[in-house]
A and B are shown apart, each in its own frame.
Chain A
């Protein structure tokens, strides 16, 4: 039978691994934030350019370059918006279903824990919230 100290990492090793884990998490979050911000900035930039030229186009009465007309023509096309509309409804439906599942988890888990503790008083927990979500301190 191996000794406990042979199985577990030393305190120093655990500390470094946890540190690396946290740093990796921060870097990942940083990359996601940069991509999100870059996307938003690009959207703002493109809208800005379009708005500027749209204004000029109105003055020049150039139908081809009129952004407002072009965008309205996109909005007007029902076939273009149909897939987006269906996708949006599907996402909202999914989110509502998830909320229902979490409420159900919160509703059931109290009884399950109590019953299991009657069978096993030393029962250990996963440490999630009552709704089955990650605890704030674990994020």
Chain B
């Protein structure tokens, strides 16, 4: 004799699970991708406006590379998630590529070579915002990271009080993300 209510409960759980699965892995993912793209479009427009005002040379390598970086970030935002990053880092190590973030470092060097300190600070702020948007994008897309959130917050709070480890970790994550986008191809 089976217990019918238990089977009905199981059916109810399965339907709920399926709906939650579709919500997170389809609707939520698409929303996060669209939201990230919108934020990146806004930052790319900010850079465009800077050049229109004559503060940045449109033909300079710095502007062209930043524009390409934004274009690639927008185009490949759907491929950027936590597991892709992990796999990318592991395969880069397997390839013996120890300087994975060199493209992003090069962009950083070019921005720092801008002579006008006000414009340099503005461009750096735009790139930092872009890094934050992409780190947040990876976080929001990962169920694993979202579930870890309470634990991460607790540890982060403890670490934040004692060291500047979070800032360093954010910078490192931003380097890897930028590199991963730069080397993406259709």
Contact between chains at B27 and A7 (CB < 8 Å)? no
**Which residue, of B64, B88, B183, has the highest number of chain A Cβ atoms within 10 A?**
B183
User: Which residues, 1 to 52 on B, are CB-close (under 8 Å) to A?
Assistant: 1-2, 4-5, 7-8, 10-11, 14-15, 17-18, 21, 23, 25, 27, 30-31, 33-34, 37, 41, 44, 48, 51-52
Answer whether residue B122 sits at the interface, using C-beta atoms and an 8 A cutoff.
no
Complex Cα distance, B106 from A57, in Å, reads 73
Complex Cα distance, B48 from A16, in Å, reads 34
CB distance from A44 to the nearest CB of B (A): 10
Contact between chains at A128 and B75 (CB < 8 Å)? yes
Q: Number of contacting residues on A, CB 8 A?
A: 54
Answer whether residue A35 sits at the interface, using C-beta atoms and an 8 A cutoff.
yes
Given A49-B2, A53-B4, A70-B5, decide whether A20 and B186 contact each other with a Cβ distance below 8 A.
no
Contact between chains at B91 and A16 (CB < 8 Å)? yes
Given A2-B106, A7-B106, decide whether A46 and B11 contact each other with a Cβ distance below 8 A.
yes
Given A24-B84, A43-B11, A119-B52, decide whether A94 and B27 contact each other with a Cβ distance below 8 A.
yes
Contact between chains at A8 and B48 (CB < 8 Å)? no
User: Which residues of A have CB within 8 Å of B67?
Assistant: 124
Contact of B95 among A13, A54, A71 (CB under 8 A): A13
Contact of A17 among B52, B75, B92 (CB under 8 A): B92
Complex Cα distance, B183 from A21, in Å, reads 11
CB distance from A49 to the nearest CB of B (A): 6
Answer whether residue A40 sits at the interface, using C-beta atoms and an 8 A cutoff.
yes
Given A13-B97, A49-B7, A50-B8, decide whether A35 and B21 contact each other with a Cβ distance below 8 A.
yes
Complex Cα distance, B102 from A2, in Å, reads 10
User: Which residues of A have CB within 8 Å of B74?
Assistant: 126-128
Contact between chains at A46 and B88 (CB < 8 Å)? no
Q: Return 20 A-B CB contacts under 8 Å, by A number.
A: A6-B102, A7-B102, A17-B88, A21-B84, A21-B88, A21-B184, A25-B84, A39-B14, A49-B2, A49-B7, A50-B11, A53-B2, A64-B4, A65-B4, A71-B8, A74-B8, A126-B41, A126-B44, A126-B70, A135-B75
Residues of A in contact with B (beta carbons under 8 Å apart): 2, 6-9, 13-14, 16-18, 20-21, 24-25, 28, 32, 35-36, 39-40, 42-43, 46-47, 49-50, 53-54, 57, 64-65, 67, 70-71, 74, 91, 94, 98, 101, 116, 119-120, 122, 124-128, 132, 134-135, 137-139
